Amino acid sequence: MSTIVSRLKRLTLSSPLRRNIGMTLGRQLLAAFAQFLLVVLIARELGPGGNGFYAMAILIPTMLANFLNLGIGPATVYYVSRGYFDFRQAMAGNLRLGLIVAASGVALTVPILLIWGGEVFPGVPTGLLFLGLAAFPLTLLLAYLNTILQGLENFKAFNLTILLPPYVNLAGVVIALYAYPSGVSGAIAAYISGQLVGLVIVVRLLRRSKNKDARRVGMKPFTTYARRTLSYGWRAHLSNILAFINYRADIFLVNFFLTPVSTGIYVIAVQIAEKLWMLSQAASTVLLPRLSAMHHDPAARLALSNKGFWVVSGITAAASVIVAIALFWLITPVFGKEYVEALPAFFWLLPGVIAGAGSRIYANCIAAAGKPEWNMYSSFGVVSINIVGNIMLVPDYGIVGAAWATSVAYCFNAFVKAWLVRLLSHVDTGRVL
């Protein structure tokens, strides 16, 4: 503890960096509030079964957006922050690539759901899965375009594009559950509406920022843009795919081995636990373009990453204790007595959540150094541990077993990322010398 405190005291971030992190964290808190209300409303009004159906349907667009984004988002941040691509070309290139990938993803997914939907998602109505699929193109294009604002470090506009969708979603859920009751279908339609509004806003903000924020470095052919972004992107993409599998394998396997009711209960534990990553997500959002721009000063990049690691890990650990105590008293009055079983699973997820918060900062340091494939290599071991652990533990220990396996995987990930950053520091020092 004394080591963490001493490192926190030596924190010296620039005022713009602190302001951007604070702004992004504020957005995270506001978004978390909307998402918390969404979780409570859907859990109480639809029950564990309906909540499980909703979680599986929303998993479709989320999974596709993560599996088929090709790493364009991280590559955009990397190249735009370094000033390699013109703002106009990033906007046109990402829109073109996004439309191609979205059309291909829908064309591949429809026959899979028609043929194997009942086997892959047992107990979930196929119609709900297709309704969830409609959100995929919107989610993908939103992710492709708002990373341009992130690369330009225009966090005021970037945060707005991420903050609006959950509030639109919340308003839609209230309408779907109370004004015009439509159950799970209405809740999914509200999610789609949130993604659509977010996409419209990001396009308007990009057009407004086009003249003000553009970094004119010379237009390059689309083939050059696509080749560069995909060359960096596929390495970051594979890492993100494995990270997504690591984040969602437990939910999928709980639904596979148990029931949608158990999934609905476990999802509550996971959703609350993941809210503790708000600070690490905010810091990562701000630090990635800044660390990428520091490619001429690897020593400063490493120092900034280490400070971010200790601050984020320490604050996340403190917040975990506070939330655990509060949830012990609040889970029944807030969610209902049928969700009490989520409490032990949540407690066992906390060690992994704390470890995952710090490892996210180091993962951005590695990606900013132009080595996103290193994150990919470490993710193979992490995913293997998580999947094997869930397969071994969930049938016998239920959702608590899923939490055990997930926490072990996250802790392993933190150790590996710390070792890779140490290795990267030696490589960069050798280059400078």
In the chain, the N- to C-terminal Cα span, in Å, equals 35
**What pLDDT, on a 0 to 100 scale, did the predictor assign at position 218?**
56
Q: 87, 99, 93: which is closest to 148 by C-alpha?
A: 87
**What pLDDT, on a 0 to 100 scale, did the predictor assign at position 192?**
94
Flag residues of the chain having pLDDT under 50.
1-2, 4-9, 11, 211, 213-215, 429-433
Six-digit token string for 284: 């990562």
Instruction: Write the pLDDT tens digit of every residue in 29-52.
Output: 888 788 888 888 888 888 888 888
State the DSSP string of 91-132: HHHHHHHHHHHHHHHHHHHHHHHHHHHHHHSTTS-HHHHHHH
Q: Which domain holds residue 217?
A: 2-432
Q: What dihedral angle (degrees, nearest 10) is formed by the CA atoms of 368, 372, 374, 375?
A: 100
What pTM was estimated for this model as a whole? 0.71
Number of domains making up the chain: 1
- The answer to whether residues 286 and 278 touch, using CB atoms and an 8 Å cutoff, is no
- The answer to whether residues 235 and 373 touch, using CB atoms and an 8 Å cutoff, is yes
**Cβ burial 269-278 (10 Å sphere, 16+ → b, else e):** bbbbbbbbbb
Q: 428, 113, 163, 427: which is closest to 298 by C-alpha?
A: 428
**What pLDDT, on a 0 to 100 scale, did the predictor assign at position 23?**
78
Six-digit token string for 101: 């990938």
**What pLDDT, on a 0 to 100 scale, did the predictor assign at position 10?**
52
Distance CA 355, CA 170 (A): 31
**What pLDDT, on a 0 to 100 scale, did the predictor assign at position 15?**
64
Distance CA 364, CA 74 (A): 10
Q: Where are the beta strands (DSSP E) in 149-272?
A: none
